[in-house]
Chains A and B, each alone.
Chain A
Amino acid sequence: DAGVIQSPRHEVTEMGQEVTLRCKPISGHNSLFWYRQTMMRGLELLIYFNNNVPIDDSGMPEDRFSAKMPNASFSTLKIQPSEPRDSAVYFCASGQGYNSPLHFGNGTRLTVT
């Protein structure tokens, strides 16, 4: 199994631009999580899906952030417009059922200048 695949690995963009981060979960997993990690705030849960349905998006910082999961094998996290304070490493993770271990991708390092 290839594990959770995130793309791109690195993204550098200018303030005001739209950014789209992508995630392919492990096949057969029915839950998907998006996290953000910074030195100041640590690992923050942004949103998670069960069976492609958003369950809890209370961690999404602002309306500039949106996440979708159109099918079981793909999810996106979009930031529009991006700001320098959005600079962070964004992780995607997937799991199979309640209480099962989460498998994390290698993350996308986003830099907004």
Chain B
Amino acid sequence: DAKTTQPNSMESNEEEPVHLPCNHSTISGTDYIHWYRQLPSQGPEYVIHGLTSNVNNRMASLAIAEDRKSSTLILHRATLRDAAVYYCILRREEYGNKLVFGAGTILRVKS
């Protein structure tokens, strides 16, 4: 499985933007970049995914570097409810439909 590297933890202030980085230097051309998050005592929740172009949805934005070796998940205004573990995952068609989670980044949001 293609590897991703994320910081162990990050801290943010409420109502400020948060940029969560992810490095994936061994990414291949067919790898999609997926982001999930897991709130305390809940199952993981899909956030966003993309291939090459930046993506926006109601939850977040995904900025993908031009060489695709890194990406950034952007929460535009962090709330206390955004405190969670955020996972950056590469999903490759030749590996079937697998979604393999790493350690993720623990995001703490201060009021």
User: Do A and B come from the same complex?
Assistant: yes
Interface assignment of A25: CB less than 8 Å from any CB of chain B: no
Whether A104 contacts B43 in the complex (CB less than 8 A), given A42-B102, A99-B49, A99-B91, comes out as: yes
The answer to whether A48 touches B98 (Cβ under 8 A) is: yes
User: What is the interface size of chain B, counting residues whose CB is below 8 A from a CB of the partner?
Assistant: 21
Residues of chain B within 8 A (CB-CB) of A56 are: 96, 98
The answer to whether A103 touches B46 (Cβ under 8 A) is: yes
The answer to whether A95 touches B49 (Cβ under 8 A) is: no
Residues of chain B within 8 A (CB-CB) of A98 are: 93, 96-97
A31 to B100, CA, bound (A): 15
Residue of A nearest to B43 (CB): A104
Write out, one digit per residue, whether chain B residues 49-65 have a CB within 8 A of any chain A CB (1) or not (0): 10000000000000000
The answer to whether B97 touches A55 (Cβ under 8 A) is: yes
The answer to whether A33 touches B99 (Cβ under 8 A) is: yes
The answer to whether A106 touches B96 (Cβ under 8 A) is: no
A55 to B96, CA, bound (A): 8
Choice from A45, A106, A107 contacting B98 with Cβ under 8 Å: A45
Residue of A nearest to B104 (CB): A42
User: What is the interface size of chain A, counting residues whose CB is below 8 A from a CB of the partner?
Assistant: 24
Write out, one digit per residue, whether chain B residues 64-101 have a CB within 8 A of any chain A CB (1) or not (0): 00000000000000000000000100010100111111
Interface assignment of A102: CB less than 8 Å from any CB of chain B: yes
Residue of B nearest to A97 (CB): B97
Whether A48 contacts B101 in the complex (CB less than 8 A), given A43-B44, A99-B91, A107-B43, comes out as: no
Residues of chain A within 8 A (CB-CB) of B49 are: 99, 101
- Knowing that A56-B96, A91-B43 touch, tell me 20 more A-B residue pairs with CB under 8 angstroms: A31-B97, A33-B99, A42-B103, A43-B38, A43-B101, A45-B99, A45-B100, A45-B101, A48-B97, A50-B96, A55-B96, A91-B44, A93-B99, A99-B32, A99-B91, A99-B93, A102-B36, A103-B46, A104-B44, A105-B43
